[in-house]
Structure 1
Amino acid sequence: MSTPHVLLGLLAAGPRHGYDLKRAHDERLPRAKPVAYGQVYATLGRLQRDGYVAPSGQDRDAGPDRTSFALTDTGRAHLDRWLTEVETPAPYVVSTLFTKVVVSLLVADEHRARDYLIAQRAAHVQRMRELTQLKTSPGAGLTDIVAADYALGHLDADLRWLENTLRRVAELSSEVHR
């Protein structure tokens, strides 16, 4: 996730201060890792340094002064460029799941890899049930549903890989030990 671009996108609706940006981030991206206040302010500092945002005023709501930031024309152009860039599919397998299977075959035998794959499959199925329940619950908003669909798609792909790999464990084990 690109925190700077998310903050620029949130500022596209109008000036906001860091606390408001953090709340808006966590509301708009409910299934994403929550962003810390410190990260928001550090990112705003970099965005200001790069000319993408500028202070637009200060307010005090029963607490310390809070500086609001607004998107600059340069920031809007940067955000617009980013939104049109197609993401390159990952050129490498970057997955702890994949790495654990290969390493378990290196340091143990096919039984350990098989046990891991079976346990991981159960964990994926359980998470898929939770997400399906979440997206069909009465209080689910559209953002919750879209986030759950995204996660379910990835879990489904992982689950298919787990099943295929489970069928190939013996073959993989002999190949790794050659």
Structure 2
Amino acid sequence: MAWVSPLGGRRQPRSGGFTLKGYAWWVYIACIVAGMSISHTLLGLLEGGPRHGYDLKRTFDVHFGQDRPLHYGQVYATMSRLLKNGLVEVDGVETDGGPERKRYAITEAGVTDVEQWLARPEKPEPYLQSVLYHKVVLALLTDRSADDLLDTQRAEHLRLMRELTRRKLAGDLADQLVCDHALFHLEADLRWLELTAARLDRLASEVRS
């Protein structure tokens, strides 16, 4: 799939009530804030079958924790919250001669939550790849369409880039520089999406092995 740049266009007038400086501040915040949904990732891993906390941490670290492995406290705090919200349930308790370990299973509500999270495009912003990578790998691990996920995200990126371009053309030099900063990062995201789409078969083989 070819990538089409949305950076062309005509100058647009300033719209009434719109504060471009406020938008520039929003772009700045977007550039420095990146997130990752550990809870959705752990939920997705449970679709392969019930697991206890230690196994969840180990599986998470294999697929996603190369630079930032999970702490056990994060796992158990997250599972406690998911249990309270009805997204997982206790499937049993293992002892094996040591401390008791709860085995968790995903509920129907949990499966629905994962599906909605995977289908929902992320707010386009720089340094988003870690979240998108999690979504792509989980889609492959749970036999969902990673192609559809990437297509949806690509469309959302292009939408924001068109909006940024319109606001850049209507702004002063400071506004233009801030918008350019965001646009360059979003273009890099798009290249990453295209590269990932081209390597999905290879990635699927590796994560499922």
Report the TM-score, using the length of structure 1 for normalisation: 0.50
User: Which structure has the highest helix share of the two?
Assistant: 1
Q: Which has the higher contact order (CA 8 A, sep 6+)?
A: 2
Higher-Rg structure is: 1
